[in-house]
Amino acid sequence: DIQMTQSPSSLSASVGDRVTITCRASQSISRYLHWYQQKPGEAPKLLIYSASTLQSGVPSKFSGRGSGTDFTLTISDLQPEDFATYYCLQTFDIPRTFGQGTKLEIK
């Protein structure tokens, strides 16, 4: 199975900050990497697919980079609605595997 290691597991930031979350795959997954946002009590929401393509309707403050094994999600100008848990997902192989999540909290 492909292991997805996400870091940090938690992150404290202030409104207006810019933050970066990292996801590392245990083997190359090309660009089969996607980012999700999940708020308490809600389903995950797709933010970015294929490592760097913004899903329709998602604001451009979210950006993704990477290929192979190393990927990043950057969120600019943090607003209160951005404080949530973020997950990466690889769809290169079965079983699909998620990172363990990054909880973004308000400082």
Partner 1 sequence: EVQLVESGGGLVQPGVSLRLSCAASGFTLSNHWMHWVRQGPGKGLLWVSRINSAGTSTTYADSVKGRFSISRDNDKGTVYLQMNSLRVEDTAVYYCARESPAHSSELDSWGQGTLVTVSS
CB 74 within 8 A of CB 18: yes
Residue choice 13, 22, 31, 69 for contact with partner 1 (CB under 8 A): 31
Q: Which CA distances in Å does 39 have to 1, 79, 92, 103, 104?
A: 27, 14, 26, 10, 10
53 binds partner 1 (CB under 8 A): yes
87 binds partner 1 (CB under 8 A): yes
Judged by CB under 8 A, the number of residues near partner 1 is 26
Per CB under 8 A, residues contacting partner 1 are 31-34, 36, 38, 42-46, 49-50, 53, 55, 87, 89, 91, 94-101
